[in-house]
Structure 1
Amino acid sequence: MKLRVRGNSLRLRLSRSEVETFDQVGRVEEAVRFGPGAQLVYAIERATDGALSARLEGSLVTVSIPAGLADSWCRTDQVGLEADQPTGDGQTLRILIEKDFTCLKTRSGEDESDAFPNPHDHC
């Protein structure tokens, strides 16, 4: 799972196997390790209700996806989910969850064997 943070936006991209795991188990989690005892953990989880949302607890970022949205996204060709979450200070956090596609140009060191086929490959 890839995490991209830019300004007030949070984007997670999941590979095919991660989407399958999320569909079956209801949670996928990754960690960035900065050293002994120091890590940033990010996860997506299926929620029973509510809206697509994100929360930060200590060094854990969790994005919750309502079950209906999660099921539809995992089981169809739907590329992504998005939401704007008020932050309580007059700003919003943009949340995007996407299926990870292969790049149109090969990049050295990038393993894309588990990525979704890029729909633009067939133009």
Structure 2
Amino acid sequence: MKIRIRGNSVRLRLTKTEVDSLAKTGSFSEKIVFPNNTLVYTIIAKEAINTMEASYIENIITIYIPKKDSLEWPTNTIIGHKHSLKIDAANSLSILVEKDFVCMDETVEDQSDNYPNPKALT
């Protein structure tokens, strides 16, 4: 799972195996180990929500996705889920969770578990 943070937005990209794991176990996590601390980012399928939610507590970024969406995601054609989470009167957090596609350009990254890029199929 890849994470991208920019401004007031967070984006997670999941491979086929990670999407399947989320559907089967209800969560998936990764971590970045720094010399003085560890940042964990996780996605959790949550009952009784209709839109994505997020939290950041004790160096853990957690994105909550509706459980129904996580269960259907491995077998449907939906690329991603997007939500703008209102924080207060002046701030919102943009959340995007999407399937990770094979890149169209040259890359040294292992992409064997990524989804086929729809642009390459046309």
After superposition, residues 1-123 of structure 1 pair within 5 angstroms as 1-35=1-35, 38-50=37-49, 51-107=51-107, 109-123=108-122
TM-score of the two chains, using structure 1 as the length reference: 0.93
Inter-partner Cα distance in structure 1 for 2:95 and 2:45:
15
Query: Hey, which bits of structure 1, 4+ residues long, moved more than 4 A?
Result: none
Inter-partner Cα distance in structure 2 for 1:48 and 1:87:
21
1:35 counterpart SS class: coil
For structure 2, the residue ranges without an aligned partner over 5 or more in a row are none
Inter-partner Cα distance in structure 1 for 2:112 and 2:93:
31
Identity of aligned residues (%): 34
For structure 1, the residue ranges without an aligned partner over 5 or more in a row are none
Give, as a single letter, the amino acid of the residue that structure 2 aligns with 1:64.
Y
The number of equivalent residue pairs is 121
Maintained 8 Å contact 2:24/2:71:
no
Give, as a single letter, the amino acid of the residue that structure 1 aligns with 2:118.
P
Inter-partner Cα distance in structure 1 for 2:35 and 2:75:
37
Maintained 8 Å contact 1:73/1:81:
no
TM-score of the two chains, using structure 2 as the length reference: 0.94
Inter-partner Cα distance in structure 1 for 2:20 and 2:73:
11
Distance 1:6 1:69, change over 3 A: same
Aligned-pair Cα RMSD in Å: 1.1
Q: Which moved more, 1:90-99 or 1:68-77?
A: 68-77
